[in-house]
């Protein structure tokens, strides 16, 4: 039950308490947001991400370290490629934007590249908003914002996002640019990676739309945030950039809906017992109890997206949850959610034979046993 005392506290302070004393908050990046939106029902992930807990450290402290990491080769390559794309004041990048998205506009020359450096994420966000306003109010010119900072309200707390680049067109509209180092081979790239990039870009589009909405308070029409983003990748086996316009309308709609559905972090925080803390310095038993106090919805897809996945998987297996084997499996099992229940129902030891799910299970068990030449368990 929520304690009346905690309600009054500012959310920020409450989240800092959850994180633990002297633990800096980890920024919520677009990749994490996109992954979070992929599993919106997971309260554990929502509160941990919302509070800025370092989940990698937490998973290590829980005894199920995550298996994520980035190879320095990939990192070097990615940075080198991004630097190449943005070289010469982004001439190549702007040429690609012009060619792929806005051929009717003037070809870019002498594009403005404002300096966006400022102190702290809040300062950089304000600087970015200012630069966007200035660029939008100067029609007929191209502007490249290199690593701007955007703020997006996620489940009641701000998340700071850093797109690779945002381009302001001569007509005042804005385009998100995503630079990735996976190759575009003969004009096509790995669909899974393109999908991930599109989901990430969709979050930036949402954040930019918030900025655009704030700019209009003065009365002028809102600047348009284009729903076709530019994905820049190396061409074939070379290091030369090539680009493709990716329509993210669908991803934007999905992500926007999921973000709106996220249970408010405040509400989750209120359900936690007083004194809950996720600091990785705490003893494992205490941490486990703290993590267990928020329910998770584990599915195998988490393994590729969440640092805590191995911990949640172990818990899910212990509980015998059938979702451990995949979300789709739940669909045909009706109300049966644990391995034990399903097997005992299939072997005729429990369950209501009138229930269609149970009847189908028994029939399946019988057919399987028959095919394998096992002794057929008689169904009552």
Catalog residues that contact other proteins under the rule CB under 8 A: 64-65, 67, 69-78, 181-183, 185-187, 234, 236-240, 300-301, 303-304, 310, 317, 320, 322, 324-326, 328-329, 332-333, 339-340, 342-343, 346, 360-361, 363-365, 367-368, 370-372
* CA angle 127–132–135, rounded 5-degree value: 125
Q: How far is the CB of 179 from other proteins (least distance, A)?
A: 13
- Closest contact distance (angstroms) between CB of 96 and other proteins is 17
Q: What distance in Å separates the CA atoms of residue 243 and residue 272, rounded to the nearest whole number?
A: 47
CB closer to other proteins out of 25 and 369:
369
CA–CA distance, 299 with 260 (Å, rounded to integer): 22
Rg (CA), the chain: 25
Cα dist. 234→188, 218, 276 in Å? 11, 42, 47
**Residue (108 or 183) nearer to other proteins, CB:** 183
Nearest distance from residue 44's CB to other proteins, in Å?
A: 19
> Is the Cβ of residue 41 or residue 65 nearer to other proteins in the bound state?
65
Asked if 165 contacts 147 with a C-beta cutoff of 8 angstroms, the reply is: yes
Closer Cβ to other proteins, 120 or 326, answer by number: 326
C-beta of 13 vs 188, nearer to other proteins: 188
Instruction: Tell me the CB-side half-sphere exposure of residue 340, using CA atoms within 13 A.
Output: 4
Bridge partners (DSSP) listed for residue 242:
233
**Residue 70 or 218: which CB sits closer to other proteins?**
70
Q: Minimum distance from CB of 304 to other proteins (Å)?
A: 8
Shortest CB 298 distance to other proteins, Å? 11
Nearer to other proteins, 198 or 302 (CB): 302
Min. distance of Cβ 80 from other proteins in angstroms? 9
User: To the nearest whole angstrom, how small is the minimum distance from the Cβ of residue 305 to other proteins?
Assistant: 11
Closest to other proteins by CB, 9 vs 317, is 317
Distance CA 200, CA 111 (A): 26
**In the complex, minimum distance from the CB of residue 379 to other proteins, in angstroms, rounded to a whole number:** 10
Residue 41 or 182 with smaller CB distance to other proteins: 182
User: At closest approach, how far in Å is the CB of 83 from other proteins?
Assistant: 13
């Amino acid at each position: 039950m929520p304690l009346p005392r905690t309600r009054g506290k500012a959310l920020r302070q409450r989240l800092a308490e959850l994180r633990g004393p002297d633990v800096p908050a980890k920024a919520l990046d677009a990749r994490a947001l996109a992954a979070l939106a992929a599993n919106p029902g997971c309260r554990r992930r929502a509160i941990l991400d919302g509070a800025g807990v370092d989940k990698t450290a937490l998973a290590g402290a829980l005894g199920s370290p995550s298996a994520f990491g980035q190879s320095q080769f990939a990192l070097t390559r990615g940075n080198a490629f991004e630097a190449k794309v943005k070289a010469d004041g982004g001439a190549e990048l702007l040429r690609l934007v012009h060619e792929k998205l806005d051929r009717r506009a003037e070809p870019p020359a002498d594009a403005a590249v404002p300096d966006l450096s400022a102190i702290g994420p809040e300062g950089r966000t304000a600087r970015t908003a200012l630069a966007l306003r200035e660029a939008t109010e100067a029609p007929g010119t191209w502007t490249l914002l290199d690593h701007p900072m955007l703020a997006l309200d996620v489940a009641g707390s701000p998340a700071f996002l850093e797109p690779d680049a945002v381009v302001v067109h001569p007509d005042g509209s804005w385009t998100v640019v995503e630079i990735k180092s996976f190759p575009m081979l003969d004009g096509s790239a790995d669909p899974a990676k393109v999908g991930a990039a599109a989901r990430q870009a969709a979050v930036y589009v949402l954040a930019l739309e918030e900025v655009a909405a704030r700019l209009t308070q003065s009365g002028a029409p809102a600047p348009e945030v284009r729903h076709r983003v530019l994905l820049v990748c190396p061409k074939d086996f070379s290091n030369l950039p090539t680009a493709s316009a990716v329509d993210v309308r669908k991803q934007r709609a999905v992500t926007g809906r999921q973000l709106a559905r996220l249970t408010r972090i405040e509400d989750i925080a209120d359900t936690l017992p007083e004194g809950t803390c996720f600091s990785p310095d705490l003893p494992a038993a205490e941490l486990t109890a703290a993590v267990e106090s928020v329910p998770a919805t584990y599915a195998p897809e988490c393994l590729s997206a969440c640092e805590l996945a191995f911990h949640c998987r172990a818990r899910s297996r212990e509980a015998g949850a059938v979702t451990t084997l995949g979300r789709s499996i739940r669909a045909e099992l009706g109300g049966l959610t644990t391995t034990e229940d399903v097997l005992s129902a299939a072997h005729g030891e429990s369950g209501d034979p009138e229930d269609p799910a149970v009847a189908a299970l028994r029939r399946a068990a019988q057919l399987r046993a028959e095919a394998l030449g096992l002794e057929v368990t008689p169904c009552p």
